[in-house]
Amino acid sequence: MQSIGTKSRLRSAYKVGTLAVSGLFLASALLSLGGCSKEPVKLTSAKIVSSLDKGSGNFDRVLQICFTKPTSSTYYHKVVIVTKEDVRITGEGLLRPMASDPDNKCHLRNIYLYIHKDSPMEARQLIKDYVVPGNISEVLVQIYNSEPEGKELPIAEKVFKGL
């Protein structure tokens, strides 16, 4: 049987714990609101690079996306690559600041990583056969502050033609 003093201490401890959890939630909510303002970015170029692979076959198709200056925040991007034969490769993902090369204005994205559940079964072979330098009709690159959940507009968008 618990004494009245024990119940009172338990009730007080519960209130303190609840207040601490509420305080942590409020602090994280305020930090996330403050973190919404990311530095604006401007796209300068995009191109297909096929000279990075050293025999593995995993990096023989890379998309290079360049900005006016190195990125210092994490952004979300969407890409649509259209070849001259009208083969379309779509993809998306995070673009993180590069810790190993913080002064680099360009991000390299393995195009094979854009293969997803809605891609055709032969997507890897289509990329290998058609997504080559000189055979790209256009590349649409859209940059977002975070992964879009609805109809958010990109913070930067550009179509690059004749790659």
Domains of the chain, residue spans: 1-37, 43-161
163 residues of the chain, pLDDT tens digit each: 555 555 555 455 455 444 444 444 434 443 444 445 788 999 999 999 887 766 666 778 899 999 999 998 999 999 999 999 999 999 999 999 888 888 999 999 999 999 998 888 899 999 999 999 999 999 999 999 999 998 899 999 999 998 8
| Architecture label for domain 43-161 | Sandwich (2.60)
In this prediction, residue 32 carries a pLDDT of 42
Whose CA is closest to 36, among 155, 150, 151? Answer: 155
Instruction: Return all residues near 17 (Cβ < 8 A) that are at least 6 apart.
Output: none
Q: What is the pLDDT of residues 23-43, one digit of tens each?
A: 444 344 434 444 457 889 999
Q: Name the β-bridge partners of 113.
A: none
In this prediction, residue 59 carries a pLDDT of 79
Calpha distance 144→138 (Å, rounded): 20
In one-letter notation, the amino acid at residue 153 is L
In this prediction, residue 11 carries a pLDDT of 54
